Amino acid sequence: RGATTFWLAAEEPRNYQKTTLQPFGWTLLSKPAPEVNDQWSEAIAQWQEMESASAPPVEKEVVPQITITATEEVWEGASVSYQAGGGGVLEAVGPKGLKAKVAGKEKAKAVTDASLHTALFEKRKTIRNVRVTVRKMGNWCDIIKVSV
């Protein structure tokens, strides 16, 4: 009682003729003899011993903590705009193209001079040539104050 399997291969992956397939492997499936079973059991046990051997411990590398200090900058001649979507975002673009943001309409109103509220929050116009004070932390900038 056994089964035989043949594998057939084509020269090309597409548009092949079934009559040109070539055999490249075979196997005979049957129960192994007891001595073959014993040999396989020994080989598997040796392999498991080898695989379960512990590796030497590796010391963990200590990564130094990087502290980012916040610095304040004043951008003269910046432009400021407000988008109401997503809870409101006030965005300032500095003279060198750097951007700073503050999220939330209430926070945006708190950092903006009252004289700019109508044009910025009601008419939603972009206001140019304003003075913006920002807190810079790494590559991120937060708006602290917007004034004329």
Domains and CATH numbers, the chain: 3-50 (no CATH), 71-147 (2.40.50)
Q: Which residues pair with 147 in a beta bridge?
A: 131
Q: What is the pLDDT of residues 33-50, one digit of tens each?
A: 889 889 988 998 888 887
User: Contact 82/120 with Cβ under 8 angstroms?
Assistant: yes
- pLDDT category at 132 given cuts 50, 70, 90 is very high
Which of 51, 6, 48, 56 minimizes the C-alpha distance to 27?
6
Percent of the chain with pLDDT over 90: 41
Q: Where are the alpha helices (DSSP H) in 17-145?
A: 34-52, 105-111, 117
| Sign of the torsion angle spanned by Cα atoms 128, 129, 133, 134 | positive
Around Cβ 72, how many Cβ atoms within 10 Å? 11
pLDDT band per the 50, 70, 90 thresholds, residue 6:
low
Average pLDDT over residues 116-126: 91
In this predicted structure, the answer to whether residue 61 has a pLDDT above a threshold of 90 is no
